Structures are given as C-alpha cells and as structure tokens.
Amino acid sequence: MVKSMAAKHAIWPRENDIIFNLSERAQRAEKVTGKDNVINATIGALMDDDGKLITMESVYKEYKELPNGEIGAYASLAGQPDYIESVKKIFFREYMPDAHIRVVASPGGSGAIKLALWNYTNIGDEILTSDWFWSPYVSIAEEIDRKVVTYKLFNEGNSFNLTSFKENFLRIADKQERIFTIINTPGHNPTGYSVSDDEWDEILDLSKEVAKDESKKIMIFVDAAYIDFAGDDKVIRKFFRKFSNLPENILVMVGFSMSKGFTAYGMRMGAVIGITSDENIAEEFHYSCVHSCRANWSNCNRGAMAILSNIVKDQEKFNLYEEEKKIYKEMLSVRAKAFVDESEKIGLEILPYKAGFFISIPCDNPKELCEELTKDNVYTIPLKMGLRFAVCAVSESKCKIAPKIIKNAMEYLESKKVATSEV
C-alpha cells in the first residue's frame, strides 16, 4: 500500500509546474546550443535581449537605501497606512471611483485573489472566468473547495463574448446566491486581450440587472496584474470610473500587484482593493480580509511597501520610475508588434492581442506542438487550447522569426497527421 500522511483534502496529483519545467529545459538548451540559438518564451517576466531579468533601478535603489528597520520590522496586518494610500493613488490615478474604497495588503496579486475568493464565496460555489485563463485560479479555488467554470472569451469577431459571459453568469445566478467572476484585464494572461470600455458597460449592465434581485450578491474581481504594461496609463484606467455608485449588492474587487509594474516578482507584494457604494460593506471587507491575512501569512513585506510609498510620495522619484518604466513598456510593445505583424504577414492565427506580456496561438494539439517546437529550440507554454508565447522575455529579432517557426511546426504536424490517416 502506498504510504500517505497528508490529509485527504491536501493530496493532489504529483505534477511539477509545467512552466518552470519548460523554462529549465530552455535554459539547458541555451547552455548546449548558445543563447542566440534558443527562443525561451516560457518566462512570465520582463527579460532583456540577453535573457537577463530586468530589475528597475528606480525600484532597487530605493530598496537598498532603506534603513534595516524599515525592512526588518513587522508591518501592520492590513498594510502600512502610507502604503494603503499610495496603492490607491498609483492604481486609480485620475480615475478613482466615487465609492467607499478599502485596500488590504497581500502577498502579490495571488494573495489578493485568495483573500477575495475565500471571503466572498461559499464552499462548492462556481467561480466564473474566461476559457483562456491563468491556471492558478483553479489551484486557489480548488484548494478551498470552489470550482472554476468558464465562458468563451472570444466571439466570432474576436472580441469579448458577451453572449457566452451572460449565459454563464445567469446560469450561476440561477443556482447560487453569490456570483463571483474574475476578469483579468487589461493585458490578459495568456492572450493579451483588454476588455474595452464598451464591453465593461455591457458587463456592468448585466450585473446591475441581476442585482435587482436583492438576494443576489455579485462580486467582480478585476485581476489587474498587467495594468502597468497595458497601454496608455490614462486611457486604460478610464473604466475604473464605471465602478462609481454601483448597487450595494455589487462589490468590485481589484487585485493589485507590484510583481510586474515594479519588477518585484519575488518580493511578493500586492493588495486587494474593495470598491463599494456602502460604507458598512467596505468596513466588512476590511475586517474579513485582515482576519484572513492574520490566519494565513500574518503581515506582508514591509520593505516592499516602503519602496512603493517612497516612490509615490516623492514626485522626483515617481518621475524617474515612470521614465524608466516607459522604456520597458516601449520595449515590450516593439516586441509584441514584431510578433503580431509577422504572424499576420505569414498567416499564423493568433488571438487578439492588445497589450501585456503574452500572445496566444490557438491550436488543437498544444502539447504536441510545444514538444515539436523544442526541436527547433523554441520553448513555449502549452495551454488547453493553444500555446502561450511570452513576448516579455524574447528579443524583438526573435519575436520576428518565431511565428514562421511555429507555423512550419504546425504544418509539419498537420502533414504527419494526414499521412498517418491515409495509411
């Protein structure tokens, strides 16, 4: 008999994280063949053209100048007061919704998702997100006995599939008291899609319609992990104003993260932001989340909070940070454009990319295609319905040649399939 000590609910399939696995394989290939000959599009972080992690000087200089006590001391459970104010300021900018807003610190955007899911759903509840999604949503949900269900993200015109969203939203509303949906925008992982302002109107109109039934509780979780690399800082924030004066039974929550915007992935700093028209619901949000913080990880990374607060409070530091970020934003959009333009030119189908770290290529055989591509030293991530290519981690010149290699591999596998079926 296989020996086991873990409690039943803690036993999961013994799988290694496929992303880290493929990334290691890519790194081994780089050692054998040389970096120039390998395209490592597995990594979800900004890398320079030589494959080195980009770390913003304006961020790390600030960190290194902090007094030890500002790094080593415990922080307040909800987050340092100046961090809370700074998150509000940098996140909403000119588009603060007219609402009661509370911010609770969390370890990255992942922690924010956990806080929201735990506190605003019941055991067995279905959580709605799109069919292209960041897979840890499932890990976070299933660990606490919730289930992720999906709608089709795209319609035939390759924009937000409101019909599918509505169908699923209403189906859940029919059977559950709580409707919790995660919308990862702008710069969705893995497709690079951003929900447009008009599409937001449609999502909110539907939510308001369902909210007329006062027994329903609607939670919209906006996973904004990529907001800092999702286009013009002002334009992409306009939709926040739409969260003003919503019905009391609609609670909008936002996952804020310092991972991408501050190139601080390992510092594990973020926040969950609650937006509601009711003050009591805002207070409840604060206390529910703070209780969970205490119960799960206690307080968060004080040094990381200080970096953000110091940069936001000091206009000169803020300008330096913004200027530095602009360089990397530009780098990212040049790379993405190279990939998108070349795909169009050679006829490789990709999903509608607007911004962000990743581009997705739909296909029927992602694992097989991913494996085939490794023979050409191209490393991507296989998803359920396609491949994810991390433009954030690949130079412009490699982004330009990758589509052709992918298309060739697809055609090769297709021809092999036809040949086999003819035998």
Ligand X SMILES: Cc1ncc(COP(=O)(O)O)c(C=O)c1O
Here the tokens at position 378 are 């191209």
Residue nearest ligand X by beta-carbon distance: 108
Choose which of 119, 161, 259, 292 interacts with ligand X (CB under 6 A).
Answer: 259
Q: Which of the stretches 66-74, 89-97, 105-113, 373-381 binds ligand X when contact is defined by CB under 6 A?
A: 105-113
Q: Which of 97, 108, 261, 366 binds ligand X (CB under 6 A)?
A: 108
Strand runs (DSSP E) across 41-125, as ranges? 100-106
Per CB under 6 A, 134 contacts ligand X: yes
Per CB under 6 A, the segment of 50-58, 108-116, 235-243, 288-296 that binds ligand X is: 108-116
Tokens of 166: 């509505």
User: Could you tell me if 137 and 127 are in contact, meaning their C-beta atoms sit under 8 angstroms apart?
Assistant: yes
Sole window of 20-28, 76-84, 107-115, 376-384 interacting with ligand X (rule: CB under 6 A): 107-115
CA 386 to chain centre: 18
Written as one string, the DSSP assignment of 278-339 is: -HHHHHHHHHHHHHHHHHHT-S--HHHHHHHHHHHH-HHHHHHHHHHHHHHHHHHHHHHHHH
Among 129, 130, 161, 257, binds ligand X (CB under 6 A): 257
| Helix or strand holding residue 91 (H, E) | helix 81-92
What's at 151, amino acid-wise? Answer: Y
What is the number of other CB atoms lying within 10 angstroms of the CB of residue 231? 17
Of the candidate residues 223, 310, 382, 386, the single one contacting ligand X (CB under 6 A)? 223
Q: Does 277 bind ligand X (CB under 6 A)?
A: no
Dist CA 183 CA 222 (whole Å):
5
The residue within the footprint of ligand X, chosen from 95, 265, 297, 318 (CB under 6 A), is 265
Query: How far, in Å, CA of 250 to CA of 87, rounded?
Result: 22
Q: What are phi and psi of 375, to 5 degrees?
A: -65, -25
Could you say whether residue 184 binds ligand X (CB under 6 A)? Answer: yes
Question: Do residues 107 and 289 touch, judged by C-beta distance below 8 A?
Answer: no
Q: Give min distance, CB of 311 to ligand X, in A.
A: 17
Question: CB within 8 A of 283, min separation 6: which ones?
Answer: 102
Q: Rank residues 135 and 333 by Cβ distance to ligand X and give the closer one.
A: 135
What is the size of the binding site for ligand X (CB under 6 A)? 13
Q: How far is the CB of 257 from ligand X (least distance, A)?
A: 3
What is the distance between the alpha carbons of residues 296 and 326, in angstroms, rounded to a whole number?
36
Indicate which single residue of 51, 79, 97, 109 sits in contact with ligand X (rule: CB under 6 A): 109
The residues facing 388 across adjacent strands are 360, 381
Residues 169 and 184: their CA atoms lie apart, in Å, by 16
- 189 makes contact with ligand X (CB under 6 A): yes
Exactly one of 97, 192, 261, 270 binds ligand X (CB under 6 A); which one? 270
Cα 31 from Cα 35, distance rounded (Å) = 7
- The reply on whether position 110 binds ligand X by CB under 6 A is yes
Comparison of 257 and 377: residue with beta carbon closer to ligand X = 257
Residues 37-66 as x/- pattern, contact with ligand X by CB under 6 A? -------x----------------------
Told to check if 191 binds ligand X by CB under 6 A, we report no
Which of 217/382 has CB closer to ligand X? 382
Q: What minimum distance in Å lies between the beta carbon of 75 and ligand X?
A: 17
Summarize as ranges the residues that interact with ligand X (CB under 6 A): 44, 108-110, 134, 184, 189, 223, 225, 257, 259, 265, 270
